[in-house]
Amino acid sequence: MSEPTIAVVGATGTVGKQVIASLMQHDVEPDQVRFFSSERTQGEELDYQEETLPTEPPREGSFRDVQAVILATPSPVARELALDAQRSGAWVVDLSGAFRVDANVPLVAPGVNDGVLDRAFSGRIVSIAHPATQTLLATLGPLRAKFGLAFADVTMLFGASSRGNQGMEQLTKQTAGLLNAKDPDIEVFPHRIGFNVIPAVGGFEGGLNEGERHVLVEAARIWSGEALPALTATALTVPTYHGLTMVISAHLNRPVDADGVRALLKEDTALKVIDDPSQNVYPMPMLSTDDVAPHVGRIRAAGPRVQLVVAVDSVWRLADTAVDVALELADRS
């Protein structure tokens, strides 16, 4: 039996490049991958292991003879391409969020709802939960299981990579311009991101911005069928390039102490506890680079209330999860 072929759409973007890095870490050979990008970057070549591979724009029929397609594109593009890939008989792993609220499409959050793909579902499309949702639920999961969880509030600090390559380029240009006393152009974000904090991630609807909606809607779906704790979320964009930092406040169903919380979280192999504030050791985005595991620290407890800080390489977690799922599904073809 020949090895499966994996296609990456959006290969030249921020997430797409991390997907490619993950494919290489999984030892997927160059002849097992195909890279697609927009017309704007058509013909761009990407390094892969010891080879240089071309990109091409996806067209009707592009996914024939492909076993799995990873979509790292904007949602409207993903919807159209997902259906085309499905008609071609390929599995689809969508990272855009286009299908995250579709009850007919499995929503995968590794370490939280493992086994979701073992249950029967219609179609060949799978959606990967937003990395913020994955991280929040993976961190709260052990506490919820042992102590019960009544309420949790999370403040999420997203770097400029939340808007892809354009977001990071905008941060670079604005920072350089401001350091040279030049007024920055406002193009990608609604306000200046250089030396600023924007209390929004994406557009607003019903008082919630896109980053907040993703987490709340997805958490409700993933934890459905169980006693759902009350969740609130605030998402901000901060002038860093990569990574996601969370400040979580949780109200448990019984009193705990910080040592007990720390010991419990250390038992979870999907988390890394980094918590020695007296030695200036705590989670930071720069320490979580290229690590799928959330870094947890600044653990404090008073009665049933727990506060902690979490940092995660959100793009890498999303990309690596996509590759794991794509390879699993491709083996079913």
- Say what the pTM is: 0.94
111-143 tens-digit pLDDT: 899 889 999 898 999 999 999 999 999 999 999
CA distance 297 to 224: 28
CATH 3.30.530.20 fits 133-314, yes or no: no
* 13 class by beta-carbon count within 10 Å (0-12 exposed, 13-18 middle, 19+ buried): buried
Residues above pLDDT 90, as percent of the chain:
89
CA distance 266 to 293: 12
Q: Given this model, what pLDDT does residue 38 score? A: 83
275 contacts 262 by C-beta, under 8 angstroms: yes
CATH architecture of 6-129+318-330: 3-Layer(aba) Sandwich (3.40)
CA distance 12 to 125: 22
Task: Name the nearest CA neighbour of 161 among 211, 111, 92.
Answer: 211
CA distance 266 to 34: 39
211-252 tens-digit pLDDT: 999 999 999 999 986 678 999 999 999 999 999 999 999 999
Q: Provide the residue ranges of all domains of the chain, joining segments of one domain with +.
A: 6-129+318-330, 133-314
